[in-house]
Homo-oligomer: A and B are copies of this chain.
């Protein structure tokens, strides 16, 4: 029985804090329109799948395109979108990855108007640590409305 095959276990307090701060920074990049910085939170070959999209985005180029398209749509409608990740559970795996499960909410506010709660999802990520930074290797987002 080597470390590679040991059972999974909880993350450390350091990892839990880092991952929560990473999620805050990562989604803030997207919400503030910094698509490249958001995309850099995925590995080069990262996968971003959503149950409301037929095919997963594979790799940073495809993920960046998705991000830019979403932001263009919001800009056209004059909306500020905020992604809230919370209720994070996280588990270390023997291969060095961390598997997270979390809830995600989206709120939208029109410039000069009244904000609204937009939708609720769940997320499941496989995270890896590279050069002192957490990166998303695989993300699956499932919208509650279509679960």
Interface residues of A (CB under 8 A from B): 10-14, 16-18, 20-21, 23-25, 27-28, 80, 82, 84-90, 101-103, 105, 107, 109-120, 144-147
Q: State how many copies of this chain the complex holds.
A: 3
Which chain B positions have C-beta within 8 A of A10? 18, 21
A21 contact set on B, CB distance < 8 A: 10-11, 16, 88-90
Q: By the criterion CB–CB under 8 Å, are A85 and B87 in contact? A: yes
Chain B's closest residue to A14 (CB) is: B13
Tell me which of B24, B103, B146 contacts A101 (CB under 8 A). Answer: B24
Q: Considering only CB atoms, which chain B residue lies closest to A85 in the complex?
A: B87
* Complex-state Cα separation, A146 to B13, whole angstroms: 36
Q: Are A115 and B120 closer than 8 Å at their CB atoms?
A: yes
Bound CA span A17–B11, Å: 9
**A14 — which chain B residues lie within 8 A by C-beta?**
12-13
**Given A115-B144, A145-B110, A146-B112, A89 contacting B120 (CB threshold 8 A):** no
Contact status of A84 and B109, CB under 8 A, knowing A21-B10, A89-B25, A90-B21: no
